[in-house]
Structure 1
Amino acid sequence: MIKKETPTAYEIHPLISGRWSPRAFDQKEVSEEAIRTVLEAGRWAPSSNNLQPWRIIYGVKGSDTYDRIMDCLVEFNQSWVKNAPVLMLGCYKKTNPKGQENFHALHDLGLFFGMASIQAHDMGIGVHQMAGIDFEKAKKDFGFPEEYHVATAVCMGYYGGDAKSQLSDDLHEQEHNKRKRMPQNAFVFNGNFKEQKQKENE
C-alpha cells in the first residue's frame, strides 16, 4: 500500500496528516454499515443556522445508481474512477427556508465531506472528490429541483489498490507524487490581506 509523507510545519493529528486522495483502490467491498458510518460523520458537521443543506446520493459498484453517477462524470474521471467501489454525488440546497440564497451552503457541503473524509481515513478508506462532472446532467438525471446544485462527485474505497495495473502511466506516477501545500504565509494574514505576488517580492 502506498504510504504518503506529509511535511507539516506544525504537528497535527495523524488522521489529518495521513489522509490523501487515492485513484487506485483495493477491490474489497465497502459495506453498507461502513458507508453509513462515513456519512454519519458528515451528518454531524457544522452548518450555518444548522440548515444542513447537503444532499448525498451514493451507489455501490454493480448497482444502477453507481452506473448513473458514472455516466455524469467527464471522460477523464471515468477512465480511472471505475476502480472505486463506491460513487457519490455531493449536492446542496441553494436557498434557506425563507427562499433566500444561502451563501454558506457550499461551504457547509465542504465541511460535510471534510468530516466524512477523516472518518473514512480512520477506517482505512480513501476518499477522492472530483469537480469533473456534468452538473446539469446529474441534476436532471437524479431529479433535483431548481433550488439545488450538484457540486461534486466523490469516490471512495479501501486504500491498497494496485496503482500499476489500475491506472495509466501518468496517473500511476501521480499516485506516488509527494504531498505539498502552500506555506501558511501565502494565505494567512495577521492584519490586512496581501496579494501573493506582493509577498513573493518581499
Structure 2
Amino acid sequence: MNNLGKLFVISAPSGAGKTSLCNELLKTYDNLEYSISVTTRKPRADEIEGKDYFFVDEDTFKKMIQDDEFLEWAEVHGNLYGTPKKFINEKLESGVNILLDIDPQGARQLKSKLHFGVYVFIIAPSLKDLEERLRNRRTESEEKLRLRLENAKKEVRYYKDYDYIIINKNFKKAFNELNAIYIAEHLRSKDVKKIEDIMNLEV
C-alpha cells in the first residue's frame, strides 16, 4: 500500500463533540497525530511549545504569510492561527497520519490548494441539542453562546464541502462511524501501486 500518511480534516460547530471524538481516535491509533498550528496567541499555563501550538509573534506570523508557509490561516478573536505546510508535509511523507481540526473557512482554503485529504463534518442532532450542550458547559456568557449558535447555523450550510457527515447523537455510534471512515480510507484501491508487491504474484 501507499506508505504516505493521510490527512483527515475535521470540522464541527462548537458543542458538536468534535474534540472528544478526535481524542478517542487519537487514543486508538499510534500512527495518528494532531496537526500543530502556529498562533500569535499567548500560551496558557498548561500549553507546551511544539506540542499544543507553535507560538510566534505577529511580525513572524505575517512574514510566514508572505513566504507562503501556510496551507491555510485565519484571524480568530483577534489572534492569528495557521496550518504550517512544512510540518504537515514532513509528517505525511514519513507515513504519519494527520488529524487537522479546523473551521469550515479553513477547510475550504485547504480544499482549494490540496488535491488530497479526507473531509469529515460532525454535527449535533439539532440546534436545540447543540444549545443544551453549550449551556451545560457553563463556560460561555449568554452573548458568546448566542454568537456560537449563530455561527453554527452558518457553518452547517457548508456540509457539501465534506466527504462525510457524522451526526453525534450517541457518542459510541458517532465514534464507530468516525473509526469506520478512518479504516475505509486506508483500504482504497487507488493507494495500491502494484498488486504483485502485496500478493507476491508470479508474472
TM-score after normalising by structure 2: 0.30
TM-score after normalising by structure 1: 0.30
